[in-house]
Amino acid sequence: MPRAKELKIRIENHPGVLGEVAAALAKKKLNLRAAHAWLEGSAGCVRLVAEKPAVARKALVAGGWPAEEHEVLEVTLADKPGALAELTAKLGRAGVNIEHLYVGSAGAARQVKAFVGVSDLAAALKAAR
């Protein structure tokens, strides 16, 4: 079961800032595999998985957005009802707590990639097989 490098940044909450982040990554010709953005109080948070995480991290830092890097579980799921339920049940039975989850493109028809931040990556890798 693969792992992925996830980058997390905090951004100001004002119109256009998410576009600035996306433009900084696009300028480096970086393809995003998945992204999730939300508000925490008065600040924005963004988690993303890019094809070249080291290049993405440098681009974010250069734009003024220091990036935290985390390893997350990367799972290819069928794009059908119940696929996520099956994965999360496996993780639960293995005693793995899900801290966050988001979905991105798998590049193939009828499949998606789930990126899952977990309490125990080694156990999650084993359980998700």
Domains of the chain are 3-70 (3.30.2130.10), 72-127 (3.30.70.260)
The structure's pTM equals: 0.86
User: Which band of pLDDT confidence, cut at 50, 70 and 90, is reported for residue 113?
Assistant: confident
Q: What is the pLDDT of residue 111?
A: 81
- Alpha helices per DSSP H over the chain: 17-27, 53-62, 83-93, 121-127
Mean per-residue pLDDT, 69-84:
94
Let me know: does 34 contact 49? Beta carbons within 8 Å: yes
User: Which candidate, 36, 53, 56, 54, places its Cα nearest to that of 45?
Assistant: 36
Give the percent of the chain with pLDDT over 70: 99
Asked if the model's pLDDT at residue 22 lies above 80, the reply is: yes
Let me know: does 76 contact 106? Beta carbons within 8 Å: yes
User: Which band of pLDDT confidence, cut at 50, 70 and 90, is reported for residue 1?
Assistant: low
Mean per-residue pLDDT, 108-118:
83
